[in-house]
Amino acid sequence: MSDDPLVIFTPSGKRGRFPVGTPVLTAARKLGVDLDSVCGGRGICSKCQITPAFGAFAKHGVTVTATALSEWNSVEEKYDTLRGLPKGRRLGCQATVQSDVVIDVPPESQVHKQVVRKRAEAREITMEPATKLYYVEVQEPDMHEPSGDLERLKKALKEQWDLDVAGSDLRTLQLLQPALRKGKWKVTCAIHHSGIGPAHIMQVWPGFYEGSIYGLAIDLGSTTIAAHLCDLQSGEVVASSGIMNPQIRFGEDLMSRVSYVMMNPGGEEDLTRVVRESMNALIVQVSAEAEIDRELIVEAVLVGNPIMHHLFLGINPVELGQAPFALASSGAVSLWASEVDMVMHPEARLYILPCIAGHVGADAAAVALSEAPYNSDELVLIIDVGTNAEILLGNKDRVLACSSPTGPAFEGAQISSGQRAAPGAIENVRIDPVTKEPRFKVIGCDLWSNEEGFEAATLSSGITGICGSGIIEVIAEMRLAGLLDASGLIGSAEQTGTPRCIPDGRTNAYVLHDAAAAGGPLITVTNGDVRAIQLAKAALYAGARLLMDKMGVESVNRVTLAGAFGAHISAKHAMVLGMIPDCPLENVVSAGNAAGTGARIALLNVSARREIEEVVHKIHKIETAIEPMFQEHFVNASSIPHATDPFPLLNKIVDIPDVNFNVKQGARRRRR
């Protein structure tokens, strides 16, 4: 056994003996310890920070003295002065091994660092981006060895990073010559390697490039386009933003946009143009928010339903509007972002997740990637609520999927006082079952409407309408307060005993808030609003039930609500409305924008792209449009909660009054 000092890395536990004077980074590389470095050990990038531990380590069988590493050197001193090293940290490329030592690699110094997601049950994202930075020293040109600048750069990348690079884009080749000379034959390269095809150099900076590079995860929805801008080195989301999908002016739901194209041949070009224009507005918006040059966005991952997928790519969506709902391409699509006119880095790549089927798109695939039902032991039902609901049901043995046309009601459209989730929108509602008086919260204010200071706090935004999660809560609360019967009728003032129930044509409406005094609107819930939500929730429920039928189960272990909107739905209220199958309330979780998260996972980890490309082939697609049982479930699911399906678990937690307003007042009185 060698007398060389023993080096033990934590948390990996990897260990080995190295001669005195070996840099810690070198030892880490030899042991395969995940320690980052962009500059290749030249004391420039500071990515290889480590923390030596001192003292006796019985567990490891070593005692580490204060002189186990070489003394703090001038490179570390300079770095610390210029940018500051956290206390106790050393640069792994500068500190050398002197005697037995235990070295901790902090998470931010790991190449494959993990990006922690907020939800406890959600899996972490391991950093493995397609585009990475590499600093290299390139051999100067030599007349007697007449290889080109690019060829010497490729040689340097091979020698210094063991990277096989096929070549560069033309633009990078144009930049390379001045960059090498300005950087005195030292450059930093951004190298893209998606794992398919060869790696290539997509950008080059003179010397050591101190900045970062970015990627965009995009969820292209029918109603909104949402984007997360991520730092491709740290994995952090540096800006998030959303924008309305301007195609709404061609039709609120997808089928009306397809109809537009059918009625207006060539109209798909208008739809493509406007969505690409908005995409660019969004790119400008997020890069401004993060204060970065948008040319630093070197790649993007996009998810969306099949019709948005086709329209964004400039493919006629008409085939998706009729059986057999044939996709132009079901596989993942890799292309240059410039091919779809995206204003990012000129050579940025765009990756679009695969579609599951003609009605279950890349957005559903992204939800699957985020929630990974195919890895679950339990049977999990995942509902991505949007203008179309994507529904997944399964576990590690089998996953089923379908899409259900809920319409835009859940997003506040088709609702009389409905609006987008924005400051001023009512998002939470409670109704006192005795007084029938409501209290509510609006977006942008943490107070309930009956709390002190609420009026002052909402003065600037006003109280402008009800957003999607608000409409679900108010209708569910109306049901719990006995203002609404199981068939979906709102009672009159007389029937309910509250003046908040006012006549509205041949039916009634409930006055949630009267801001008329303050110059604001009268915010009511009409019977038309209730009908719209009933149709939407029936479609959702019918889709979920259909999958349960196909799976041959009567209940599920967990329900995950996803979607920009799904994140804000109260599980209890969703169950009161009969949106989701009966399930223990504590097992109903909100996954937030899971499609967006799936896009972010695929952006930060190329292996995840291969994973979902494999998985989509194993997800069995159910076509709701041709399943008679879907219609049957739909019809049965329109009541709140409907009569044919018992909700034993729900009934344990809430007490739903047995009212029926579909009778003459006299008749009701007679029953009393």
Sign of CA dihedral 522, 526, 530, 536: negative
Q: Is residue 162 involved in binding a second copy (CB under 8 A)?
A: no
Considering only the stretches 98-106, 224-232, 319-327, 538-546, report the one whose residues sit in contact with a second copy under the rule CB under 8 A: 319-327
Q: Is residue 335 involved in binding a second copy (CB under 8 A)?
A: yes
Q: Check: CB of residue 219 under 8 Å from CB of residue 303.
A: yes
Residue with smaller CB distance to a second copy, 225 or 327: 327
Under rule CB under 8 A, which residues in 2-21 are in contact with a second copy?
none
Q: What minimum distance in Å lies between the beta carbon of 631 and a second copy? A: 17
Considering only the stretches 250-258, 316-324, 429-437, 652-660, report the one whose residues sit in contact with a second copy under the rule CB under 8 A: 316-324
Q: Check: CB of residue 309 under 8 Å from CB of residue 613.
A: no
Q: Is residue 146 involved in binding a second copy (CB under 8 A)?
A: yes
Considering only the stretches 22-30, 192-200, 453-461, 542-550, report the one whose residues sit in contact with a second copy under the rule CB under 8 A: 192-200
Among 32, 107, 265, 331, binds a second copy (CB under 8 A): 331
Residue with smaller CB distance to a second copy, 91 or 180: 180
Q: Is residue 176 involved in binding a second copy (CB under 8 A)?
A: yes
Q: Is residue 116 involved in binding a second copy (CB under 8 A)?
A: no
Edge-to-edge order in the sheet of strand 333-336? 237-244, 224-231, 214-220, 297-304, 349-352, 333-336
Please name which of 83, 57, 82 lies closest in space to residue 68, comparing C-alpha atoms: 57
Among 53, 75, 111, 173, binds a second copy (CB under 8 A): 173
Considering only the stretches 142-150, 247-255, 370-378, 424-432, report the one whose residues sit in contact with a second copy under the rule CB under 8 A: 142-150
Q: Is residue 143 involved in binding a second copy (CB under 8 A)?
A: yes
Tokens 């008679």 locate to 628
What is the enclosing helix (H) or strand (E) of 127?
none
Q: What minimum distance in Å lies between the beta carbon of 233 and a second copy? A: 28
Q: Is residue 325 involved in binding a second copy (CB under 8 A)?
A: yes
Considering only the stretches 174-182, 367-375, 492-500, 657-665, report the one whose residues sit in contact with a second copy under the rule CB under 8 A: 174-182
Q: Is residue 321 involved in binding a second copy (CB under 8 A)?
A: no
Q: Is residue 312 involved in binding a second copy (CB under 8 A)?
A: no
Q: 390 — alpha (psi -120 to 50), left (phi > 0) or beta?
A: beta
Residue with smaller CB distance to a second copy, 185 or 661: 185
What is the Cα–Cα distance from 277 to 540, expressed in whole angstroms?
Answer: 32
Considering only the stretches 47-55, 62-70, 311-319, 582-590, report the one whose residues sit in contact with a second copy under the rule CB under 8 A: 311-319
**Can you list the alpha helix ranges (DSSP code H) found in 84-237?**
149-161, 170-182
Under rule CB under 8 A, which residues in 195-234 are in contact with a second copy?
196-198
Among 101, 190, 307, 313, binds a second copy (CB under 8 A): 313
What is the Cα–Cα distance from 300 to 604, expressed in whole angstroms?
Answer: 10
Residue with smaller CB distance to a second copy, 78 or 184: 184
Among 11, 13, 107, 178, binds a second copy (CB under 8 A): 178
Burial group, residue 377, by CB count within 10 angstroms (0-12, 13-18, 19+) = exposed
Q: What is the DSSP string of 322-373?
A: STT---S--S-EEEEGGGGT--SSTT-EEEEPPPSBTTB-HHHHHHHHHH-G
Please name which of 381, 267, 283 lies closest in space to residue 321, comparing C-alpha atoms: 267
Q: What minimum distance in Å lies between the beta carbon of 254 and a second copy? A: 17
Under rule CB under 8 A, which residues in 632-661 are in contact with a second copy?
none
Considering only the stretches 6-14, 162-170, 489-497, 590-598, report the one whose residues sit in contact with a second copy under the rule CB under 8 A: 162-170
Q: What minimum distance in Å lies between the beta carbon of 382 and a second copy? A: 19
DSSP 221: -
| Strand partners of residue 168 | 201
Considering only the stretches 70-78, 134-142, 469-477, 512-520, report the one whose residues sit in contact with a second copy under the rule CB under 8 A: 134-142
What is the enclosing helix (H) or strand (E) of 518?
none
Considering only the stretches 164-172, 273-281, 414-422, 476-484, report the one whose residues sit in contact with a second copy under the rule CB under 8 A: 164-172
Please name which of 58, 5, 9, 55 lies closest in space to residue 31, comparing C-alpha atoms: 9
Q: Is residue 358 involved in binding a second copy (CB under 8 A)?
A: yes
**Radius of gyration, alpha carbons of the chain:** 30
Q: Is residue 329 involved in binding a second copy (CB under 8 A)?
A: yes
Of the CA atoms within 13 Å of residue 180, those in its CB half-sphere come to: 21
The C-alpha angle 649, 668, 438, rounded to 5 degrees, equals 55
Residue with smaller CB distance to a second copy, 314 or 462: 314
Q: Is residue 295 involved in binding a second copy (CB under 8 A)?
A: no
Tokens of 623: 């076509």
Of the CA atoms within 13 Å of residue 314, those in its CB half-sphere come to: 7
Q: What minimum distance in Å lies between the beta carbon of 39 and a second copy? A: 24
Among 94, 224, 316, 387, binds a second copy (CB under 8 A): 316
What is the Cα–Cα distance from 198 to 167, expressed in whole angstroms?
Answer: 9
Q: Is residue 421 involved in binding a second copy (CB under 8 A)?
A: no
Q: DSSP E strands: which ranges in 495-576? A: 501-504, 507-514, 522-526, 558-562
Tokens of 621: 């697609």
Considering only the stretches 136-144, 214-222, 288-296, 423-431, report the one whose residues sit in contact with a second copy under the rule CB under 8 A: 136-144
Q: Check: CB of residue 153 under 8 Å from CB of residue 632.
A: no
Q: What minimum distance in Å lies between the beta carbon of 154 and a second copy? A: 8
Q: Is residue 353 involved in binding a second copy (CB under 8 A)?
A: no
What is the Cα–Cα distance from 650 to 654, expressed in whole angstroms?
Answer: 6
Q: Is residue 435 involved in binding a second copy (CB under 8 A)?
A: no
Q: What minimum distance in Å lies between the beta carbon of 403 and a second copy? A: 11
Please name which of 335, 259, 257, 255 lies closest in space to residue 299, comparing C-alpha atoms: 335
What is the Cα–Cα distance from 93 to 4, expressed in whole angstroms?
Answer: 19
Tokens of 261: 């194209």
Size, binding site for a second copy by CB under 8 A: 48
Q: Is residue 334 involved in binding a second copy (CB under 8 A)?
A: yes
> Side chain identity at 23, as an amino acid letter?
P
| Strand partners of residue 25 | none
DSSP 110: -
Q: Is residue 363 involved in binding a second copy (CB under 8 A)?
A: no
Among 20, 244, 326, 518, binds a second copy (CB under 8 A): 326
Q: Is residue 339 involved in binding a second copy (CB under 8 A)?
A: yes
Q: Check: CB of residue 468 under 8 Å from CB of residue 410.
A: yes
Residue with smaller CB distance to a second copy, 530 or 615: 615
Among 20, 166, 522, 635, binds a second copy (CB under 8 A): 166
DSSP 94: T
Residues that bind a second copy (CB under 8 A): 140-144, 146-151, 166-167, 170, 173-174, 176-178, 196-198, 313-316, 319, 323-331, 333-335, 339-340, 355-358, 621, 623, 626
